[in-house]
Amino acid sequence: MALLKILNYPDKRLHKVAKPVAVVDDRIRKLVADMAETMYAAPAVGLAATQVDVHERVIVIDVSDAHDELLVFINPEIVWSSDAKKKWEEGCLSVPGIYDYVERPDKVRVKALNEKETFELDCDGLLAVCIQHEMDHLLGKVFIEYLSTLKQTRIRGKMKKLEKAL
């Protein structure tokens, strides 16, 4: 396993739309293992392949307190979402140090593959937020795009300064 480099906003590669995974093979299993290691090391609760410059529909998530309940979503799709919405404070490994509130459906049902089979999972709370956040990455969208234009401009400026400092 290996730690992967996480792209930082405003890197244009974060806006690429991920392609479906054709077959779950050893390459995809290695990607999942490397993404999980990267997510746990960060530490974070979710990571999309887009964030590590792999533009395929793969997400890893672990919202457990002990960080021992890894969920793998390959080719995920939301098949249902609640009308009820809730605001959650979100952050992102690709936008380090930035947190803000985003309103999203409170509950979702996601259909995906893991390394072995197709499954459906009903999600609420932090897991529902996380799956929606990571699926946005697969569509080339970063959470700050839900914020006002003024906030987006300020964040872009902060991130460019951070990039120059490194």
Active-site residues: which are they?
134
CB–CB of 7/31 below 8 Å?
no
DSSP secondary structure letters along the chain: --PPPPP-TT-GGGGSPPBPPS---HHHHHHHHHHHHHHHHTT-SEEEGGGGT--BSEEEE---TTS---EEEEEEEEEEE-S-EEEEEEEETTEEEEEEEEEEESEEEEEEE-SS-EEEEEEEHHHHHHHHHHHHHHTT--GGGGS-HHHHHHHHHHHHHHHHH-
Number of Cβ within a 10 Å radius of residue 153:
11
